[in-house]
Amino acid sequence: MNEGDELQNLNNKNSSVTKQNNKVVKKLMLIVFGMFGFGFALVPLYDVFCDITGLNGKTSTTAAAYNVEQIDTERVVTVQFISRTAQGIPWIFEPMVREIKVHPGERKLVKFYAKNESSRDIIGQAVPSVSPGLAAAYFQKIECFCFTQQPLKANEEVEMALQFYVDPELPEDISTLTLSYTLYDVTGKVES
Amino acid sequence: MTTDVIEQDSHDEHHDDHKMQGIKRWLYTTNHKDIGTLYLWFAFIMFLTGGALAMVIRAELFQPGLQIVEPDFFNQLTTVHGLIMVFGAIMPAFTGFANWMIPMMIGAPDMALPRMNNWSFWILPFAFAILLSTFFMESGAPNFGWTFYAPLSTTYSNGSTAFFVFAVHIMGISSIMGAINIVVTIMNMRAPGMTYMKMPLFVWTFFITAYLLIAVMPILAGVVTMLLTDTYFGTSFFNAAGGGDPVLFQHIFWFFGHPEVYIMILPAFGIVSTIIPAFSRKKLFGYSSMVYATSSIALLSFIVWAHHMFTTGMPLFGELFFMYCTMLIAVPTGVKVFNWVATMWRGSMSFETPMLFSIAFVILFTIGGFSGLMLALTPADFQYHDTYFVVAHFHYVLVTGSLFSIYAGAYFWLPKWTGNMYNESLGKWHFWCSLISVNLLFFPMHFLGLAGMPRRIPDYALQFADFNKWVSIGGFAFGLSQLIFLAVVIKCIRGGEKAPAKPWDGAEGLEWTVASPAPYHTFSTPPKIED
């Protein structure tokens, strides 16, 4: 406590220093809280940034309108389909066609097969991702089972439709697109 | 810069005897020297703890196959080893140096916020008690790597995530308080006449480091909070099923993580920039360029984070941007290395232990810097990523970089701290044993990595066996060599040749104008700084 007294004396001697200290501390605390907030702000910023630039291979979560005027028959793009199930969902989930060739602008319909192999009802949600990531913005889904959740009763099986076209604006250097679906168990999670 | 000390206030000397005795002295202390000592001892104990974990890792890797530990426990060892060495050993050691030396170097009576200083130290042991206690729990310690990537730390966590998150929160709060204290002290408590550009470079590097801490530790706090809510409260920041993105975790983590690695090396620059001139008996070459180089390294550290993520599938533009920015950092770092060499050039050098560690720092840190430059090259990084080459790289910068600078600083200021000279021949033993063993330990890791040995794996293919045996032998030797340092410190505290106020004839700075050991209170009246 003597030390405290001594510091007190020192501080009284330099009460202007104490005031100055408090001012700096306040400013620094503002930076601290600002940066804590910035960490959380990065979450929406990242989504917006990826949305604009199409960097992370995320495709649109809503249906695209088909309004292509000219099908580019000169070009052929290979579209590959892959699927996987996340840990803990006892479903079979696979594309019925592994790979198709399309002309940019051409509409195509493919089917995915899913079967709930367990003896309980499960709601599944497929999350798509396109590789290379920059091509995601040019992969347009007119109809997709990934837009909604898929409830399957025990042992129920289903064929799910995906209708899409590849935007003719697709950069020249991309000749193969890979669409990957991961299926998650969302039973009991909030319906979105 | 020559300095004059106005006669010490006798009032202070009188109060010396009034400090509390026993444990209370340390629990309640607001004295920057006591708190500095606490930080340094804490860091050393944590260093030995983290080192013990590393010894088990190296014992397991001594030969191929699983010998001693289960793979899951091996993952816990690597994780906690990393966390302890980063947050428990290197960072608190530097805070200890800051507490001890900054007030004495700028002619201040104490840190600006002494009570907060006490608190920022005393919450640290609790953080590490929480972290280490997980070893004794059924679920085990964190096993997701010190980088705690989601979903390893969320969906696949073994149940230690909450303990991990709270431990990191406490470490973060401690670091932020320490950093605020350093900034306020340097801004407001400098002796009259000590302008910013007259501050010792040591003080400058801690000033910049403290700003980095204030900027990025809150980001770390934010990201672990998101991890906590993802794991236990059903949010989906990093969960693709709920619309989140695991890659976002890596972006936020490394936005903290890259400045963090400079937090662990900039103070090292400050320490060697103090020691090399002292034993070269010349002024530091290019003082102002050192200040600007340190600042530009700190600023650049904010725009290079994604070089840790080249293999996540970034577009070409992103890879090129982060590659060029990363390589740009080599420029100010090169300025520093050349300045140290130029300081030694034609100096009348002598090779006491602090200088030996500093010279080893310059050479070995540069090796670590060059392997960093190799990793910065995007196409090459695809081969090196997550191999032992990366392990070799960051151990060269953190062990032979940061840790060697801490040893250099400890030998340099031990006479000032204890009032006794350390045993020079024991110090030299410590240096040479460490130097040889540390290179045996980390250099072959470069080759292992280039040959494709992955990191964080308890077993490996047969062709890696010979190198791993040598690495393990180097590891055990390096671990044992650190006990020599413990012996040196204890011997030095107990006695030895009495140290004069300024035991190093080439040393400069206000800390050498006070007696050895430094009195409990120094510079109650500010010294006068002359040009």
Specify the CATH number for the domain of residue A128: 2.60.370.10
Pair (A81, A49) in one structural domain = no
Per residue in B307-324, pLDDT (tens digit) is: 999 998 888 888 999 999
Domain residue limits at B339: 3-529
Residue B23 pLDDT class (50, 70, 90 cuts)? confident
Q: Residue B9: is its pLDDT beyond 50?
A: no
CA distances from B37 to A33, B50, B220, B421, B494 (A): 30, 20, 27, 17, 15
Set B39, B100, B204, B262: catalytic member: B262
Q: What is the three-state SS of B332-382?
A: HHHHHHHHHHHHHCCCCCCCCHHHHHHHHHHHHHHHHHHHHHHHHCHHHHH
Selected for mutation to probe chain B from A14, A20, A28, A30 (highest B CB count within 10 Å) is: A28
Model confidence over B154-175: pLDDT tens digits? 988 988 999 999 999 999 999 9
**Domain-located, residue A58:** no
Q: How many domains does chain B have?
A: 1
In angstroms, rounded to a whole number, what is the distance separating the alpha carbons of residues B476 and B55? Answer: 6
In sequence order, what DSSP letters do the residues of B446-496 get, joined into one string? HHHHHTTPBSS-S---GGGHHHHHHHHHHHHHHHHHHHHHHHHHHHHHH--
Is residue B81 annotated as part of the catalytic site, yes or no? yes
The answer on A129 and A39 residing in a single domain is no
Report if residue A85 sits inside a domain.
Answer: yes
From the list B168, B348, B345, B281, the residue with the least C-alpha distance to B508 is B281
* pLDDT reported for residue B341: 97
Quickly count: other Cβ atoms within 10 Å of residue B95's Cβ: 32
Please name which of B119, B241, B173, B457 lies closest in space to residue A89, comparing C-alpha atoms.
B241
Identify the DSSP state of A87: T
Is residue B511 part of the annotated active site? The answer reads: no
Q: How many CB atoms lie within 10 A of CB A175?
A: 11
Min mean pLDDT across A117-126, B271-280, B458-467 is at A117-126
In a domain, A32, yes or no: yes
Chain A hits for B15, Cβ within 8 Å: 2-3, 6
| A146 and A113 assigned to the same domain | yes
Give the DSSP H or E segment for A173: none
Question: What average pLDDT does the segment B400-406 reach?
Answer: 97
> Are A123 and A43 spatial neighbours (Cβ–Cβ below 8 Å)?
no
Predicted pLDDT of residue B12: 44
| Of the partner residues A24, A182, A185, the one whose CB lies closest to the CB of residue B187 | A24
pLDDT for A2: 53
pLDDT for residue B107 is more than 90: yes
Contact A40 B315 (CB under 8 A): no
Q: Which residue of A has its CA nearest to B185?
A: A21
Window 126-165 of B, Cβ < 8 Å to A: 155-156
**Residue A61 maps to a domain:** no
Whole-angstrom Cα distance, residue A99 to residue A80? 4
In chain A, residues with a C-beta closer than 8 Å to the C-beta of B247 are 56
Nearest to A125 among B187, B241, B524 (CB): B241
Which of A25, A131, A184 is the closest to B241 by Cβ? Answer: A184
Residue B105 has pLDDT above 50, yes or no: yes
Say whether residue B524 is in contact with chain A using an 8 A CB cutoff.
yes
Q: If you compute the radius of gyration of chain A from its CA atoms, what whole number of angstroms results?
A: 27
SS3 B520: coil
Rounded Cα–Cα distance for residues B258 and B502 (Å): 38
Distance from CA of B250 to the nearest CA of A (A): 12
Distance separating alpha carbons of residues B482 and B275, to the nearest angstrom? 21
What DSSP string describes A17-42? Answer: HHHHHHHHHHHHHHHHHHHHHHHHHH
Confirm or reject contact between A3 and chain B (CB < 8 A): yes
Examine the residue annotation and report whether B273 is marked as an active-site residue of this protein: yes
Structure tokens at A83: 């699927």
Cross-chain Cβ contact B183/A24 below 8 Å: yes
Active site residue B146: yes
Label residue B245 by pLDDT band (50, 70, 90): confident
Would residue B32 show up in a list of annotated catalytic residues for this protein? no
Would you say residue A147 lies in a domain?
yes
pLDDT band at B50 (very low <50, low <70, confident <90, very high): very high
A148 contacts chain B (CB < 8 A): no
B213 contact partners, CB below 8 Å, separation of at least 6: B175, B176, B178, B179, B263
* Residue A9, pLDDT score: 56
A64 part of a folded domain: no
Backbone angles phi, psi at B238, to 5 degrees: -120, 15
What is residue B270's predicted lDDT score, i.e. its pLDDT?
A: 97
Inter-chain touch B180–A28, beta carbons under 8 Å: yes
In a domain, A117, yes or no: yes
Given the residues B32, B282, B308, B395, select the one marked as catalytic: B308
A189 interaction partners in chain B (CB closer than 8 Å): 234, 241-242
Omega of the bond prior to B517 within 30 degrees of 0, cis? yes
CB-CB under 8 Å, A21 with B241: no
State the pLDDT at residue A150.
87
A100 in the same domain as A14: no
User: HEC string of B266-290?
Assistant: HHHHHHHHHHHHHHHCCCCCCHHHH
Q: What three-state secondary structure class fits B321?
A: helix
Closest CA to B245 of A64, A127, A138: A127
Confirm whether B498 is a catalytic residue.
no
| CATH number of the domain bearing residue B22 | 1.20.210.10
Q: In the annotation, is B260 catalytic?
A: yes
Q: Are residues A82 and A175 in the same domain?
A: yes
How far apart CA A66 and CA B160 sit, in angstroms, is: 49
The alpha-helical segments, DSSP class H, found in B144-200 are: 161-188
- Averages of pLDDT over runs of 10 residues in chain A (192 residues) are 54 71 94 95 88 72 77 89 88 92 90 91 88 84 87 90 89 90 81 50
Provide the pLDDT confidence category of residue B19 given band limits of 50, 70 and 90: confident
Range 277-316 of B in CB contact (< 8 A) with A = 313-315
Residue-level pLDDT at A8: 55
Check residue B6 and give its pLDDT: 45
With vertex at residue B389, the alpha carbon angle to CA B385 and CA B392, rounded to the nearest 5 degrees, is 135
Identify whether A164 is part of a domain. yes
- Contact assignment for A3 to B19 by CB distance below 8 Å: yes
Q: How many domains does chain A have?
A: 2
Q: Are residues A103 and A173 in the same domain?
A: yes
Domain span at A115: 77-185
Angle, helices B287-300/B246-263, rounded to nearest 10 degrees = 170
Of A7, A42, A184, the CB nearest to B30: A7
Helices B266-280/B316-344 angle, 10° precision: 20
Q: Report the run of H or E that residue B510 belongs to, with start and end.
A: none
What's the mean pLDDT when you consider all of chain B?
A: 93
Please state, as a whole number, how many other Cβ atoms lie within 10 Å of the Cβ of residue B296: 16
For residue B500, cis peptide bond before it (omega within 30 degrees of 0): no
B168 touches chain A (CB under 8 A): no
pLDDT at B8 over 80: no
Query: Which pLDDT value is given to residue B457?
Result: 93
The token duo for B422 is 């350390």
pLDDT digits (tens, 9 = 90+) for B62-73: 999 999 999 999
Question: Do A45 and A102 fall into the same domain?
Answer: no
